[in-house]
């Protein structure tokens, strides 16, 4: 495969491959009902390419046709008190900032509908959510809310569903043709120049600076810094209002509105490629060292007879275990989501268990896949009377 590919974000630069990982599960949070299915689930390659024009990063080996987004896609973090508090704070902030009261709201990639329900409930808004993984029985919306869920991908065929506020959280990173998609959203808005859009994606700079190899997985084909995210919105006919990070700087946010005329590239856009390039240069050797360090640490724990579990069975856990590839070192993965318990980890096959399982298993070490949940997890362990050592990635 050629090492150069047209950038689907700015449509101007080319992607040069800098990171190559072979044979990773093409799905991370699709429910795997047996160890055999989990271990033998289809795999693909990750070849991250960097655009030296806009700073965008993309998996040039990505193939969208292998995915099975359905009701078996278990993406929600809504069972965590920490995450629910963040969701409520985010919803309240957007309602206040943009006067979202008695407005029409569209959410693209609404998952199980938790956030759209909050925005409609807290602001008295009307909502339409789109997601093939939506499950009606799991919907938290009270029956008196004016809210509709469409079990489908958002696309051109829904351009007639108009809104005052368009929301898209943790979805754009799953879409390879980012410029094309953002232009679709702009066409949906049409002449309503008072409409506002809000998007949330993982922050590429945090992944690179923290050497977070567990945040690089097949389902995420598109990676943004603030500059590349601003660029794709500006090119599509938006005026960028603000970009910022939240949730321990893991999430990159952007708000924008339709532009009433041409807009100039911001300093953050112009400097993006250079900043990302410098971070990549440091990431490559340091990430390899970190992977080797984790392998050595886990091997030593096993050799000393210590029991180790991973806490968090989502995409981070799958990527972490796949990259380390230490068969037999870790037997169980813990998750508070009851819909994931009893299932198995894609690629490596560990069984997913509830926290209470640990009362009998008594692990010596718990590797926490997201440090933002460390306090919550420590409280669970203490409640069970366990003296397990907590190691955040």
Total number of domains constituting the chain:
3
Decide: 69 and 153 in contact? Cβ < 8 Å: yes
Question: What are the start-end ranges of the H helices in 40-157?
Answer: 81-98, 114-123
What is the rounded CA–CA span in Å between residue 53 and residue 15?
9
Of all residues in the chain, what percent carry a pLDDT higher than 90?
Answer: 92
DSSP states of 32-74: --SHHHHHTS-EEEEEEEEETTT--EEETT--GGG---STTB-
**Residue 3: band (very low, low, confident or very high) from pLDDT cuts 50, 70, 90:** low
Which domain covers residue 342, as residue numbers? 305-392
What does the buried/exposed string (b/e) look like for 179-205 if buried means 16 or more CB atoms within 10 Å of the residue's CB? Answer: bebbbbbbebbeeeeebbbbbbbbbbb
What is the arithmetic mean of pLDDT over 112-138? Answer: 95
**186 and 309 inside one domain:** no
pLDDT at position 2 over 50:
no
Q: What is the CATH number of the domain that holds 386?
A: 3.40.50.720
Residue 56 has a pLDDT of: 98
315, 205: one domain: no
pLDDT digits (tens, 9 = 90+) for 253-297: 999 999 988 788 999 999 999 999 999 999 999 999 999 999 999
Q: Do both 42 and 111 map to the same domain?
A: no
289 within domain boundaries: no
For the segment 75-112, what is each residue's pLDDT rounded down to a tens digit? 999 999 999 999 999 999 999 999 999 999 999 999 99
Residues 348-361: tens digit of each pLDDT: 999 999 999 999 99
- Does residue 157 belong to any structural domain of this protein? yes
Residues 254 and 113 placed together within one structural domain of the fold: yes
Core vs surface per residue 129-139: b (16+ CB within 10 A) or e: bbbbbbbeeeb
Does residue 4 register a pLDDT over 80?
A: no
Long-range contacts of 32-35 (CB under 8 A, 24+ apart): 32/343, 32/344, 32/345, 32/346, 33/343, 33/344, 34/344, 35/344, 35/349, 35/351
Residues 233 and 362 in one domain: no
Among 204, 141, 134, 194, residue whose Cα is nearest residue 166:
194
Q: Is residue 73 part of a domain?
A: no
Would 282 be classed as within a structural domain?
Answer: no
Distances (CA, A) of 229 to 46, 144, 147, 204: 21, 37, 29, 10
Radius of gyration of the chain (CA): 21
pLDDT digits (tens, 9 = 90+) for 303-334: 999 999 999 999 999 999 999 988 889 999 99
Whether 114 and 244 share a structural domain: yes
> In this structure, is residue 67 part of a structural domain?
no
Q: Confirm whether 299 is domain-assigned.
A: no
The answer to whether residues 338 and 263 belong to one domain is no
Q: Residue 147 belongs to what H/E stretch?
A: strand 147-150
Q: How far apart are CA 64 and CA 155, in angstroms?
A: 15
Return the higher-pLDDT residue of 302 and 328.
302
Residue 210 and residue 225: Cα distance in Å, rounded?
A: 14
1 pLDDT higher than 70? no
Pairing of strands 222-223, 57-59: antiparallel
Q: Which of 348, 206, 183 is nearest to 283 (CA)?
A: 206
Q: Looking at the structure, do residues 350 and 247 belong to the same domain, yes or no?
A: no
Cβ count near 167 (within 10 Å) = 26
Is 300 domain-assigned?
A: no
Q: Are residues 112 and 189 in the same domain?
A: yes
Residue 363 in any domain: the answer is yes
Residue 369 has pLDDT above 70, yes or no: yes
Residues 53 and 95 in one domain: no
**Dihedral sign computed on CA atoms, order 117, 118, 119, 120:** positive
Instruction: Look at residue 103 in the predicted model and tell me its pLDDT.
Output: 98
Claim to verify: residue 388 and residue 340 sit in the same structural domain: yes
134/232 same-domain check: yes
């Amino acid at each position: 495969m050629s090492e150069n590919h047209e950038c689907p974000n700015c449509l101007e630069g080319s992607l040069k491959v800098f990171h190559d990982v072979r044979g990773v599960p093409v799905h991370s949070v699709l429910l795997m009902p047996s160890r055999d299915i989990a271990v033998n689930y289809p795999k693909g390659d990750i070849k991250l390419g960097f655009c030296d024009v806009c700073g965008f990063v993309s998996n040039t080996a990505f193939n969208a046709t292998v995915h099975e987004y359905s009701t078996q896609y278990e993406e929600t973090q809504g069972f965590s008190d920490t995450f629910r508090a963040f969701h409520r704070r985010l919803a309240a902030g957007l309602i206040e900032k943009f006067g979202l009261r008695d407005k029409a709201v569209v959410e693209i990639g609404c998952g199980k509908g938790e956030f759209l329900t909050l925005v409609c409930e807290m602001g008295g808004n009307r909502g339409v959510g789109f997601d093939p993984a939506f499950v009606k029985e799991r919907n938290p919306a009270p029956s008196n809310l004016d809210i509709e869920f469409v079990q489908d991908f958002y696309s051109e065929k829904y351009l007639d569903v108009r809104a005052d506020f368009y929301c898209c959280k943790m979805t754009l990173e799953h879409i390879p043709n980012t410029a094309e998609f953002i232009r679709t959203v702009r066409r949906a808005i049409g002449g309503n120049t008072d409409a506002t859009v809000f998007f949330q994606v993982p922050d590429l700079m945090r992944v690179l600076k923290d050497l977070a190899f567990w945040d690089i997985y097949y389902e995420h084909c598109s990676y943004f810094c603030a500059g590349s995210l601003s660029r794709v919105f500006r090119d599509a006919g938006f005026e960028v209002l603000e970009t910022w990070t939240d949730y321990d700087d893991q999430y990159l946010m952007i708000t924008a509105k339709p532009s009433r005329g041409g807009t100039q590239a911001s300093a953050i856009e112009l400097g993006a490629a250079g900043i990302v390039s410098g971070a990549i240069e440091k990431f490559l050797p340091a990430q390899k060292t970190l992977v080797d360090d984790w392998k050595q640490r886990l091997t030593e724990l096993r050799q000393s007879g210590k029991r180790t579990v991973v806490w968090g069975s989502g995409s981070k856990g799958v990527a972490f275990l796949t990259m380390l590839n230490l068969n037999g070192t870790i037997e169980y993965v813990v998750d508070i989501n009851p819909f994931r318990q009893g299932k198995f980890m894609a690629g490596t096959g560990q069984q997913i268990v509830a926290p209470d399982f640990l009362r009998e298993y008594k692990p010596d070490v718990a590797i926490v896949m997201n440090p933002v949940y460390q306090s919550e997890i420590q409280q669970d362990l203490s409640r069970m009377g366990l003296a397990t050592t907590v190691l955040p990635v």
